[in-house]
Structure 1
Amino acid sequence: MTENDTITCEKFLPHPPAAVWRALTDPELHARWWAAGDVKPVVGHRFTLDMGAFGHQSCEVTEVDGERQLAYRFAEGTLDTTVTWTLHPEGTGTRLTLTHAGFDLDSPMGRQAYEGMGRGWPHVLERLDAALAGTV
């Protein structure tokens, strides 16, 4: 689902929040389902994600709330957007909400990124689920 300059995706993962958090914050696991990079859950930590054909994207962690929320600036200097991962325990699993906000829809690059990522994020969440299940 997309609204204004924000993409929001939600997925139930049949894995405990601690496992999901680890997949979001452990560089080795993160590389299995999305992109290689030295992500760490430390406010102010700067890292680069290797997005393959989309290049290297500079990021900076802006918010960490235990194993509940991780936010970082994404593609600083180009897209200048914010990616926020929010984890909600649900039964024995986790409801994960991804919010990707701040696209400049008046620029061709911002519009293209918004449309492409709006289609791509659901697939990324599927890969996260598969990585947690050990199939990736």
Structure 2
Amino acid sequence: MPDTRHASISVDQFIPAPPAKVWDALTKPELLARWWAPGDVSAVVGHRFHLQMPGWGSVPCEVLEAEPYERLVYTFNTTWTLTWRLVVEGKGTRLLLEHSGFDLDDKRDRAAFERMGKGWQGTVLPRLAEVAAAEG
């Protein structure tokens, strides 16, 4: 039986930059801080890092998968997972994000789930696109 308490957000964003530039925006701390949050990210499986998130403080993360220019997966707090997939599309990159692990029975998780889909789609990923395109 499927677990209906947990939910995911999926976002699809075209970025007019090659996968290498998008990868850099996801994995270089100085670029990550420009579009999302300061943090000591590194694309090395097992790397533990923190993102400094407004309203959440220092959020612990751990890299689970890192396939350069194709896929980056890391935990975000103790229950969520961010999966970033990069797909070449023309002269740009199709970025597919899945933010999973929201426990809809938990008040804070439910509130985050209800607002983060719009935030990823309308604010955060468009800023990532701007940073990656500017780096090209």
2:26 partner SS: helix
Q: Match of 2:102, SS?
A: coil
Question: 2:90 matched to 1:88?
Answer: no
Q: What is the CA distance between 1:117 and its match in structure 2?
A: 1.0
Whole-angstrom distance in 2 between the partners of 1:5 and 1:97: 16
> What SS class does the counterpart of residue 62 from structure 1 fall into?
strand
Residue 134 of structure 1: how far off its partner (Å)? 3.1
Q: Secondary structure at the match of 1:31?
A: helix
1:105 counterpart residue number: 104
- Kindly report which structure 2 residues correspond to 1:18-97, keeping only aligned pairs within 5 A, or say none: 18-76=20-78, 80-97=79-96
Task: Provide the residue aligned with 1:125 in structure 2.
Answer: 125
Give the structure-2-normalised TM-score.
0.90
Aligned length: 130
Q: Secondary structure at the match of 1:30?
A: helix
Gaps of 5+ in 1: none
TM-score (norm 1): 0.90
Gaps of 5+ in 2: none
SS of 2:134's equivalent? Answer: coil
Q: CA deviation at 1:9?
A: 0.3
Larger RCO (CA under 8 A, 6+ residues apart): 2
RMSD: 1.6
CA distance in 1, matches of 2:109, 2:13: 25
1:67 Cα deviation (Å)? 1.6
Name the amino acid aligned to 2:92: G
Q: Is the 8 A contact 2:22 2:132 kept in 1?
A: yes
Q: What is the alpha-carbon distance in structure 2 between the residues aligned to residue 125 and residue 48 of structure 1?
A: 20
The Cα of 1:53 is off from its aligned counterpart by 2.6
Whole-angstrom CA distance in 1 between matches of 2:19 and 2:131 = 14
* 3-state secondary structure, aligned to 1:44: coil
The whole-number CA distance in structure 1 between the counterparts of 2:21 and 2:60 is: 25
Q: Which runs of 4+ in 1 moved over 6 A?
A: none
What's the secondary structure of 1:110's corresponding residue?
A: helix
